[in-house]
Structure 1
Amino acid sequence: MRFLLSTIGSRGEVQPVVALAVRLREMGHGAVVCAPPDFREWAESLGVAYVPVGPELRGTARRGAGAVPTAEQRLRMVEGTVTAQFEAVRAASEGCDAVVAGGALAVAARSVAERRGIGYAYAAFAPVSLPSAHHAPPVFRMLGQQPAAGPVDNRALWAEDAERWNSLWGPALNARRAAAGLPPVEDVRGHIFTGAPWLAADAALAPWPEPSELEVVRTGAWLLADDRPLSPGLERFLDAGEPPVYFGFGSGRVPEGLTGLVIDAARALGRRVILSRGWADLSLVDDAPDCLLTGEVNQQALFPRLAAAVHHGGAGTTTAAAMSGTPQVIAPQNFDQFYFADRVERLGIGTHLRGEPTAGSLTAALHRALDAEVVGAARAVAGRVRTDGATVAARRLIGTR
């Protein structure tokens, strides 16, 4: 069998579908990933067939790139991505038996599957992105949204969320469906998610709340095994002293001045720092030997050797840290990051920075993360994180036409 795995997003969305593609290939089946061009070279180096869609996303991490778009700009963005997706996903799905949409912005996948008469499944990477009376919808700061400051009516918020989906995505989606000879969609979110979405998140870190109106299929997180060695320079730094603190925001934007605050907080507690450049192209504040700058790195090899990890709370980084037993300090900015920050704090495996980070709040958060109680909880949770999610999903997909 052959499958198309479609997603729109950064590393947090692309890496899981690449993990699923690799697992399907290992099981003797074909898979092609349709995703932004930023990850094509990396995916192809793993032997994954890759079809790029839309523009490169790397520039979104630059300072000044996070301004909330106007209504007119949002409309152009939506029309552009819907058009690009329909064209790329339709071409990439040739000869496929089913299409999997990974993440909420893969808006063309179900329509393409419908037009070809093949199977379709939708996978979310965090419980908070699926409708439930137990939590509010995730926050899209790019749409000007902010986390609720007090008690909320979750059902009412999800109804408002459905209306936003229809008004923002409905016109462009239905125009492309009409051009393909398909009937219009009245409930855009329900159309994409289906009534039985898959949840590709670890049950220990990110469980699905019950009771539920959705028939959620819980596969576990789709993790990509990484056996790359750490660089000699990184190995020397790790061996030269006590376990350091890691700071990285991956493909996300980094608030102004946060790098210096993290380094100062670590130094105040006698800790060295490993700083990841990320898409924001971060740099060190000085040339002192207690800090090391690194590029993209094997987190599965690095994280078990850290004292703590300070990061943005993306699903991939949070799961990697949880799997390694590394205490975490999360400074969330967008979407599911607030959910993962809250889960880390509830599990007692790290801390959640609220509001604008300051030298005091960062030092206190890092001090708490380094506490023996938190270290012990992180190690205990690590023993409960499963690594077979991609296998579970692949087996289910193979049995679903």
Structure 2
Amino acid sequence: MRVLLSTIGTRGEVQPMVALATALRALGAEARLCVPPDFREWVEGLGFPVVPIGPALRGTASGHGFRPTPERLRELAEGTVVTQFATLPEAARGCDAVVAGGGLQFAARSVAEAAGVRYVHVSYCPVTLPSPHHAPPPLALQGRPLAPDTADRRALWAEDADHVNATFRKALDSGRAEVFGLPPVGDVRGHTLGDQPWLAADPVLGPWPGGDVLGTAGPPWQPGAWLLPDDTPLSPALEDFLAAGEPPVYFGFGSIRATPGLPEAMVGAARAVGRRALVSRGWAGLSLVDDAEDCFLVGDVNQRALFPRVAAVVHHGGAGTTTAAASAGAPQVVAPQMYDQHYWARRVHELGVGAAHPPAPPTAGSLAAALRHALHPDTAARARTVAATVRADGARRAAERLLAGTEGE
């Protein structure tokens, strides 16, 4: 039994697929991953074959205020679909199922259809799936803002479907016809989602609001978040820093672009609340503002080992970091910039496990205010309570369902 796991995105999209691959291997199945080249060395180091797809993504975190023109966006959209049709058929050769993760997997279902194998679409956040209970997530590159609570959500999702069709349908239909001789599709988003998408999000942190996924046959299946087991030790230098004082505040913004003055804001906020600062470089290559002993800079780090030992986690609101902090019982401050990050900020606030920073560039003052809320004893206690509810078996449940469904076909 062999499964192709395909995604295009940053660590937040790739790591859940690696978690599913690990669960599949534990059940005796084989997993092959199709991911951006940034992650090839890491994934192959875990023992999985990798087919790289598209250009490296790490450089996208540099610069400020980057917004492609509409023409450039169309070129990028067509290019990613063409690349998928050029890469995925060979990657899927010999596979019994294709699992496509994230919102950019437009060719994967066509590849599975042509091969006659099972297809599953997976999302990592409820608001990325169409529902009358929430609006589409904001897309900064398209200039789409957060929708007001009074908005007609069905109308917004219809507009979103029109946009997806206008952007991707021509390239998708071309690839289907030229590569496989398949007919055109009418609704790109519905085609991509399939009959029943999977929602790999924790049901307490990110519950499905109820009802069907618009354009599909029913609600999503929600096994829980796909968490990657990780026994990587923390570095000796980081261990020394942790042992040298009270738990620090962790600041990490992953692959997100850094706003001007972000390092100064992070360190200034930590000092304002009397805490040490642990700063992640991230893809933006952040650095410390001085050589003081109350700050420490880290690169890639095992969050599951680190987060139980920090006072709070300040981050951008990616699904993976939100879940890792919640499962560790660490209070959070979420400073969202785009897409599903606003949803996770709201959920952290609603659950009482931290603070949602306003959707504006963080300053030392704004981060300090949010940290004071997150570090309150009541918030810390609530974070520990919620941690006990976070599922740890989501990836295994998904692997079991995938194998059972495929073997039954």
TM-score, normalised with respect to structure 1: 0.98
Paired residues of 1:101 and 1:109 also in contact (CA < 8 A): yes
Q: Distance in 1 between matches of 2:26 and 2:45?
A: 15
Matches within 5 A, 1:212-231: 212-213=212-213, 214-231=218-235
CA RMSD in angstroms comes to 1.0
- Is the contact between residue 195 and residue 215 of structure 1 (CA under 8 Å) also seen in structure 2? no
For residue 124 of structure 2, what is the aligned residue in structure 1? 125
Letter in 2 for 1:249: F
Query: Hey, what does 1:174 align to over in structure 2?
Result: 173
CA contact (8 A) 1:68 1:144 kept: no
1:84 and 2:83 aligned: yes
CA distance in 1, matches of 2:345, 2:94: 41
Q: Which structure 2 residues correspond to residues 63-78 of structure 1 after superposition, within 5 A?
A: 63-64=63-64, 66-78=65-77
Matches within 5 A, 1:47-126: 47-64=47-64, 66-126=65-125
Residue identity in the other structure for 1:392:
R
Residue 218 of structure 1 aligns to a residue whose secondary structure is coil
Q: Output the CA distance in 1 between the equivalents of 2:254 and 2:365.
A: 24
**Partners of 1:195 and 1:129 in 2: how far apart?**
16
Task: Please tell me whether residue 194 in structure 1 is matched to residue 198 in structure 2.
Answer: no
Q: Is the 8 A contact 1:104 1:193 kept in 2?
A: no
Aligned partners of 2:203, 2:272: CA distance in 1, in Å? 36
Q: Find out whether 1:354 has 2:338 as its counterpart.
A: no
Which residue, out of 277, 302, 306, partners 1:302?
Answer: 306
| Structure 1 counterpart of 2:11 | 11
Partner amino acid, structure 1, of 2:181 = G
Q: For 1:222-278, what per-residue CA distance to the aligned partner results, in whole angstroms no more than 9, with x for missing partners? A: 110110110000001001101000001111112111221121111011100000001
Question: 3-state DSSP class of the match of 1:195?
Answer: coil
CA distance in 1, matches of 2:206, 2:78: 33
CA shift for structure 1 position 80: 1.1
Alpha-carbon deviation of 1:75? 1.4
Detail structure 1 runs of 4+ shifted over 4 Å in the superposition: none
Asked whether the 8 Å contact 1:99–1:109 carries over to 2, the reply is yes
- Counterpart residue number, 2:269: 265
Match runs of 1:262-341 below 5 Å: 262-341=266-345
Tell me the CA shift for residue 150 of structure 1: 5.2
Cα distance, 1:148 vs structure 2: 2.5
Q: In 2, distance between residues paired with 1:255 and 1:330? A: 15
| Conserved? CA contact 1:134–1:154, under 8 Å | yes
Per the alignment, residue 31 of structure 1 pairs with 31
Deviations 1:305-351 (A, max 9, x none): 00001100000000000000000001111111111010000000011
Identity %: 58
Tell me the secondary structure at the aligned position of residue 282 of structure 1. Answer: coil
SS in 2 for 1:101: strand
Q: Give the match for residue 148 of structure 1.
A: 147
Unmatched segments (≥5 aa) in structure 1: none
TM-score by length of structure 2 reads 0.96
Give the structure 2 partner of residue 388 of structure 1: 393
Measured in 1, the distance between the counterparts of 2:262 and 2:147 equals 24
Counterparts in 2 of 1:59 and 1:377: CA distance versus 1, 3 Å: same
Q: How many angstroms apart in 2 are the aligned matches of 1:355 and 1:111?
A: 38
SS of the aligned residue for 1:122 comes to: strand
Residue aligning to 2:42: 42
Residue 386 (structure 1) shift: 0.6
SS in 1 for 2:111: helix
1:210 Cα deviation from its structure 2 partner: 1.3
Q: CA deviation at 1:69?
A: 1.1
8 Å CA contact 2:267–2:364 kept in 1: the answer is no
Contact 2:337 2:359 in 1 (8 A): no
Once residues 118 and 285 of structure 1 are traced to their aligned partners in structure 2, the CA distance between those partners, rounded to angstroms, is: 53
Secondary structure at 2:121 match in 1:
strand
Mapped partners of 1:129, 1:374: distance in 2: 28
Following TM superposition, by how much is the alpha carbon of 1:141 offset from its aligned partner in structure 2, in angstroms? 0.9
Which residue does 1:242 correspond to in 2?
A: 246
Distance apart, 1:195 and its partner CA: 3.1
1:3-30 residue CA offsets vs partner (Å, 9 max, x unmatched): 0011110000000011111111111111
Q: Indicate if the aligned counterparts of 1:12 and 1:316 stay in contact, CA closer than 8 A.
A: yes
- Give the superposition deviation at 1:149: 4.6
Greater Cα offset, 388-397 or 347-356 = 347-356
- CA contact under 8 A between 1:61 and 1:279: conserved in structure 2? yes
3-state SS, counterpart of residue 83 of structure 1: helix
Structure 2: runs of 5+ lacking an equivalent = none
- The count of corresponding residues between Structure 1 and Structure 2 is 400
- Contact 1:310/1:331 (<8 A) preserved: yes
